[in-house]
Structures are given as C-alpha cells and as structure tokens.
A and B are shown apart, each in its own frame.
Chain A
Amino acid sequence: MAIWFARSRNIVSSLRHNLNLSGILVQRDHSPRHAFTNSQLSSRSVFLDSFTSLRHESTAVEKQLDLVQQSDEEDPQELNFPGGKVGYTSELKFIPESSSRRVPCYRVLDENGRIIPDSDFIPVSEKLAVRMYEHMATLQVMDHIFYEAQRQGRISFYITTVGEEAVNIASAAALAPDDVVLPQYREPGVLLWRGFTLQEFANQCFGNKADHGKGRQMPVHYGSNRHSYFTVSSPIATQLPQAAGVGYSLKMEKKNACAVTFIGDGGTSEGDFHAGLNFAAVMEAPVVFICRNNGWAISTHISEQFRSDGIVVKGQAYGIRSIRVDGNDALAIYSAVRSAREMAVKEQRPVLIEAMTYRVGHHSTSDDSTKYRAADEIQYWKMSRNPVNRFRKWVEDNGWWSEEDESKLRSDARKQLLQAIQAAEKSEKPPLTELFSDVYDVKTKNLEEQELGLKELVEKQPQDYPPGFHI
C-alpha cells in the first residue's frame, strides 16, 4: 500500500514537471492590490491552472491527479491553506530562534575614513560632502551649547544627538525636500539640514513668542510644516502608524515622495512599531522606517529590550525589505537611505533600515548615564568610533576640507548659537491668549469663558504669575 502511494506520488511529480508548459501566468487574485511576489508560488499555480485547461484532453491523467487530490491528507505534495500553498515536511524541526550568523552590517568607510575597496555606494559630490560635514559639525556645536544652556538653567530641558550625527545628517541628505519626516526626538539634524535656523531651534527651546509651537511643549519638540517635519511628541513610536497613513496619502496623490520616520531601539518594543510596519506593508505604503539602534533606551540596554538579532530581522516578519547599516558611516547611511527611498517611491512599498550606532550622550539633561554604564564605554565610542571625525577624515583626504575651514565653521556656529540664545532668551513669551487657541480650530465658548476668567485673575493678582506674558 505504502509503495503504491509512493509510486503515485512520483508519477504525479513527474506529471507536474512535464506539464510545465509555456508558463501561462494565471494570477491568483485574492484582492486587486496584492500582486504576486513569490515567483515560486506563481509557478505552482501555473501547474494546476494549466492542467485544468487540459482536463478534457487527458482523463487518464486527470484521474491520477484526482486520486492525489483525494489522498491529499495522506500524502500531500503541498498543503493548500488560506494565504496560499506551502510545501510540506515530515521532519519535526523548529526554525532556530536566531540565525547562526548575525545579519551583516553595510558599511563603506572604514574607521579611518577610507573607502573600503569594492564598496557598493552612491558617490557623493564635493559640494554635497562638504555640506554634509558642515551640518554634522554644526549639529555638534548646537548640541554642546544648548546642553550647557540647560545646565546654566536658561532652558528647562535638552536632548543631544551626540554620536548620531551621521544618521541624522546623511539620512536627511539622502531624502528629497518633499519627503515627509515623522521624527521620534533625536533627529534635529534632519530639520537642520532642511533649513530650520539656529534661531528657530533656540526659539522653541525657550518657548518664546517666535516659537512655531507657541511655547506649548518642552524643548527639542520641534516641528515645521515648511520643512515637512512633523512636530515631535514625547510618546514613543506613535509616529510609526501615522507614517503609514502619510505614505498612503502620498501614494494616493501620486506624489514623488515618501514618508520617512525614525525610531530608537527601545521604541521597537512598543505596539505601535508592530502596528506601523504591518499597516505600511499591507497598505503598500511608501514609508522608510529608520531605526537608530544606539544601544540604550535611557538606562535599558538592548539586551533587556529584545532577544532578536536587533531590529533588521523583524522586517521580514512583516514582509518588509530591510537592511542593517553602520549608522556611524555617513556614506553608508547616505547610500542606504537613498536606495530605500527610491524603492519606497518607485515600488510603493515600505523599507526598514536599522542604523547601528551609539548614544554617546546621556538620554537627556535629566539623565546621568554614568550611573548605568561604564565611563570607558562612553569614551571609546566618543573618541574611536566618532562618526563626525570619520567623515571628516574622508572629506579632508579628498582635499575638500581643511583645518582652517574647521575652526572657522565651529567658531561661526558657536557665535551664531550664542547670539540666537541671547535673542531667544530676551524675547517675550507668547501672549496668554495662546494658552487657549488651537485646542480646536476655533475657540469654544468654554475656553473663551476660561480665558476671560484667567485674565481677570492675572490682572487682580499678577504676583502669583510669572512675568513676561502679554495678557
């Protein structure tokens, strides 16, 4: 009996081989949106569908196959389930929890700023490279000065981007101005690249009258519709499903643009990460997800965040193309983001980039990271794995940057920042009426009453309230 079944299986398999006809592709259409991606799957459907058309020609063969179909449960070649056909195995074998080899990390520049021979990368012109470097250095100066301003009590709070300048600037450089950016909170470099001025940064940090956000949020919660940079919000990962919606809108409007959204390693544990990637994949939305895996979520090391090989392996779980990149290599980031963006827009699909990097600074000014990590670990990354220095070496080696350029840039940036801070500090706060506006498009009666009530209170007892606010 067993032999007969085995033999019939062989007959059927040889039949299937012989029936590999002209490759008439019959698309199994579960939904108009879902195109075949698995070429193997499609060839299997060719077998059956073209066989069906031969049904009337060869009943003998048909009978054989019918037999096989009847005995599907007993001796199947393939198993047919919702979602398509899957091959069958009688081996009781589990997929290992991790690959024997970690996903390799794409890089172009070595630690000495030299292009690794035979590297795949998109060339960067002198003009672009210098611009990138200038922004990386400016970002460093900006971080340093704002951090100090917080320490001096002039602003209430600050988050630095130290160690992640390459992710910030090189990714921004690789995008088009119309690409819509939905940041987490450690990506001010993207905004800087797009033209947000140092004065604008300072205004938001001081929450003054000129702050586009009207003084409503903590420092570093920048946003600029002019620069297609959605306003930062503190909750983690909420921007990810929103990015899927943004991407879908761009797709429907047939815009040559994509959504680009950032997240840290910690943020990938949030439910919104799962929601965002799954929606982007199902909706076939042009979204580039950039995960800054910088090793730490405040004091939580990645070993306490997930048990997978980082974030890159999660992409495939959603049907999303992914890549792991050296986040401290500006050229690698540039190439990866550029390519991902092209893919996202041309193929109308999401892409996941895991940028490996390190958070050199503390989580924020409310954190002292020496309490939970070794000082020499921080030093190592700050000195030997510094992305700005690495890129600088390459730019200098090309003869595009000098020591003179360096000191001029840094001193100019410093001067501008100090001026910007001075001006921002002196500036008036937004008028009190801005406490009540923009809750809705138009102030409600309730809010108008509360505003009136508050004005009376402030006029009656001004000493109870901070100065500098126009009533």
Chain B
Amino acid sequence: MASLLSRFCRKLAVPGSAHGARMVSTTTSCGSETVKSLNLYSAINQALHIALETDPRSYVFGEDVGFGGVFRCTTGLAERFGKNRVFNTPLCEQGIVGFGIGLAAMGNRAVVEIQFADYIYPAFDQIVNEAAKFRYRSGNQFNCGGLTIRAPYGAVGHGGHYHSQSPEAFFCHVPGIKVVIPRSPREAKGLLLSSIRDPNPVVFFEPKWLYRQAVEEVPEHDYMIPLSEAEVIRQGNDITLVGWGAQLTVMEQACLDAEKEGISCELIDLKTLLPWDKETVETSVKKTGRLLISHEAPVTGGFGAEISATILERCFLKLEAPVSRVCGLDTPFPLVFEPFYMPTKNKILDAIKSTVNY
C-alpha cells in the first residue's frame, strides 16, 4: 500500500522526504489517511482549526489575526469560531503575551501570534519572568502551560534587520519554556498541535521563508509530532549535521553535493531546541565522529554553541575533528548584504569537506 501510494506522490523539495512522502501518522494503526498538498501557512492554519475545534476553551489572537493574519496563518478562524475566540489585539506585544498568560493561568489554551519574531522583545519580560516561572514560583499551584506563542522567524530575501531575525538562542536560555521550530508543512502541523497541547508554555518559531515556498503532503487528520525528539532525516556515516527550520533545506542540498564527492552525511532535524534531544545527536556523532551545526542566527552565542559544548562533553574521544558551526555573521541582519551574511549551501559544503579532511 505504502509503495503504491508513494508512486503517486510528488517528490518534494522538503527535507526528509527524499525517499517519498510519508503518509501515516504514528497515532493511527490502520494504513494511511487522506493527505492534502499544503504549504506551510496552510498547514499551520489547519493545525489552528483543529486546535480550536478540539478544545472549546482555546483562543487565537494577536495583531491582524482576525482577517487571516499578514501571513494568512489564521485564515477562516474568526469566521468559524467567532470573534470571541479569534480576535485582533491592540499593537502591544507585552500586552498580547501578558493577556495570554492570564488566559492560560485560568486553564485555557492561548495561542498568541507575534507578527514577526523581530518584535517579540517587548514581551521578553512576560515570557522570561512570568510565563517561564509561573509554575515553579507558585509551587505548582498555578501554571500557564496552555500558552503557545507563535512567531514567523528567519531570512526571507529582503527582510533586513527587522523582518529576518532568528532569536531562538535568547529563549533557549530560559528554563521553564520550550522552543520548537518546524522544518516543513507536515512537521509544522504536528509540532504545533503538540506545542499547543503541551502543558508548558511554548515558543513556536515558523520559518517564514517556507510559508509559501514549501509544499508537502500533509495528513488532514489530527496528529501530533512529539516534542524533544530529534529526527535523523538523512542517514550517513562520515559526518553529522544538525539544524532546524528552513536551514535544513540548505543543509540537505549541501549533503547531496557532498555525496557526489563521496562524503556520506547524516542530517538531523532538532525540531525542539529546548529541551533538546541530546541522545539522538550523541548517538549519531559517536557513529560519524564529526559534527557540523548550521543556523541563520549569528554564530556568537547562537544555539550551535550549546550543541557543540554538549557534544564535546559527551563525545570528545570519538571526535575526529573540531565541531564546525556554519552560521550567520556577527552583524545585524543586513539587507543588500544578505547573500553574504547567510550560511549558504557552499559555505556548508566547504565546512563539510574541511571537517572530513581535518
């Protein structure tokens, strides 16, 4: 059945689907479910529809969310669930998150949208000092686990300083919240549903570059992809590559090029950055002896540093070469210089080769 279906499935550019689209969600036992070809914003939209459908005490709000949102992720929600549950908020990120914390503290699910990750900082106090510590400081009398904060992040080709940022590292340093970044439409739907239903506040960064660019067969039903479980999306023996979000597409291209030169690359999608799945990366690096991490965010203090330090601790004697980080430069995200700033396929390929040839 699976092979029949895969013959009819389109080969997708989405990472991890080089061997044909996976159809079945792990939650069902009987064969395949219906799938639909969706882009990222439609997959997210589907997840939100399902979330609101399955929990009458769930809410979606943020700036411009009512008409469908600037990226169309919230299309149709207000019409279907009503303006009491899906609504626009005043232009005030600290208010959006604070209001969301209040709702979540009362047992509701608040799925709030920050219009661009670049604008999340006014809410940083509410996220770090309030949401992350809400359960701990109260001795578990209170919690705001129902809070999920969604924000588009990452390079888009012309975004400049304030429409391209990848701020995940700031949040990975905060015990009490979770940080999740999907790589594709199918992943996004499952991870978003998990994030919404996870009993902890989650920051969910969506790669805006993929909102329209990525198209994938996405199961139509309600399914969840577990948090804190990394996935080996490409098997290999010579070097382990770790990334998340849109960067995986670039990394996969580098892996394909490297293969032509006889280098076998193992590619891991971390998916959840906090708390992250150290075991999967450790197992892989113990096999390959080499690690390369790539992210758009500036290299200094980026999340790659945490992965590198941890793997060094756990795999030191197995390492054949220093851990390589191919990341954004230590500058504000530039406009005309974006092609120079970005961790491109060729930068990654070069780093793969020099690591393998160390």
A positions within 8 Å CB-CB of B: 31-33, 180, 182, 211-214, 216-217, 221, 223-225, 230-231, 233, 235, 238, 240-250, 252-253, 259, 271-272, 274-276, 278-279, 282-283, 437-441, 444-446
Show 28 A/B contacts (Cβ-Cβ < 8 Å), sorted by A. A31-B83, A32-B83, A33-B84, A214-B140, A216-B139, A223-B138, A224-B141, A230-B105, A231-B139, A231-B142, A233-B133, A235-B125, A240-B98, A241-B101, A243-B102, A244-B102, A245-B105, A246-B106, A249-B102, A252-B84, A259-B102, A271-B94, A437-B140, A439-B176, A440-B135, A440-B200, A441-B135, A441-B143
Contact A211 B126 (CB under 8 A): no
Contact A244 B99 (CB under 8 A): yes
B positions within 8 Å CB-CB of A: 57, 83-84, 87, 89-90, 92, 94-95, 97-108, 110, 122, 125-126, 129-130, 133-143, 145, 175-176, 178, 199-200, 228, 275, 278-279
- Residues of A near B89 (CB, < 8 A) are 279, 282
- Residues of A near B200 (CB, < 8 A) are 440-441
- Residues of B near A31 (CB, < 8 A) are 83
In this complex, what residue of B is CB-closest to A252? B84
Contact B99 A248 (CB under 8 A): yes
Most chain B CB inside 10 Å of its own CB: which residue of A274, A438, A444:
A438
Contact A441 B145 (CB under 8 A): yes
Kindly provide the distance from the CB of B108 to the nearest chain A CB, expressed in whole angstroms.
6
Inter-chain contact count A-B, CB under 8 Å? 154
Contact A233 B99 (CB under 8 A): no
Partner of A245, one of B87, B92, B99, B145: B99
Q: Give the distance in Å from the alpha carbon of A212 to the alpha carbon of B142 in the complex.
A: 11
Which 4 pairs from chain A and chain B are nearest by CB?
A245-B102, A241-B98, A275-B95, A242-B102
Q: Give the distance in Å from the alpha carbon of A446 to the alpha carbon of B282 in the complex.
A: 14
Contact A441 B98 (CB under 8 A): no
Contact B102 A248 (CB under 8 A): yes
- Residues of B near A259 (CB, < 8 A) are 102
Kindly provide the distance from the CB of B125 to the nearest chain A CB, expressed in whole angstroms.
6
Kindly provide the distance from the CB of B294 to the nearest chain A CB, expressed in whole angstroms.
23
- Residues of B near A233 (CB, < 8 A) are 129-130, 133, 137
Q: Given known contacts A230-B105, A243-B102, A282-B90, is B139 in contact with A235 (CB within 8 Å)?
A: no
Contact B130 A242 (CB under 8 A): yes
Partner of A225, one of B84, B122, B142, B279: B142
Partner of A230, one of B57, B142, B176: B142
Q: Give the distance in Å from the alpha carbon of A247 to the alpha carbon of B102 in the complex.
A: 8
Partner of A221, one of B125, B129, B137: B137
Q: Given known contacts A250-B106, A441-B199, is B99 in contact with A241 (CB within 8 Å)?
A: yes
Contact B95 A276 (CB under 8 A): yes
Most chain A CB inside 10 Å of its own CB: which residue of B89, B97, B103:
B103
Contact A283 B99 (CB under 8 A): yes
- Residues of B near A244 (CB, < 8 A) are 95, 98-99, 102
Q: Given known contacts A279-B90, A440-B176, is B139 in contact with A238 (CB within 8 Å)?
A: no
- Residues of B near A252 (CB, < 8 A) are 57, 84, 108
Q: Give the distance in Å from the alpha carbon of A271 to the alpha carbon of B105 in the complex.
A: 21
Q: Given known contacts A33-B83, A272-B94, A279-B89, is B102 in contact with A241 (CB within 8 Å)?
A: yes
Q: Given known contacts A221-B137, A231-B141, A278-B90, is B102 in contact with A444 (CB within 8 Å)?
A: no
**Contacts A231-B142, A249-B107 given; 10 further ones with Cβ under 8 A?**
A216-B136, A225-B138, A241-B101, A245-B110, A250-B106, A272-B94, A275-B95, A283-B87, A438-B136, A440-B200
Contact A213 B139 (CB under 8 A): yes
Contact A248 B103 (CB under 8 A): yes
- Residues of A near B139 (CB, < 8 A) are 211-214, 216, 223, 231, 438
Kindly provide the distance from the CB of A451 to the nearest chain B CB, expressed in whole angstroms.
13
Kindly provide the distance from the CB of A269 to the nearest chain B CB, expressed in whole angstroms.
14
Q: Give the distance in Å from the alpha carbon of A471 to the alpha carbon of B137 in the complex.
A: 21
- Residues of A near B135 (CB, < 8 A) are 438-441
- Residues of A near B108 (CB, < 8 A) are 249, 252
Q: Give the distance in Å from the alpha carbon of A253 to the alpha carbon of B103 in the complex.
A: 11
Partner of B140, one of A238, A246, A249, A438: A438
- Residues of B near A444 (CB, < 8 A) are 228, 275
Contact A278 B176 (CB under 8 A): no
Q: Give the distance in Å from the alpha carbon of A38 to the alpha carbon of B126 in the complex.
A: 35
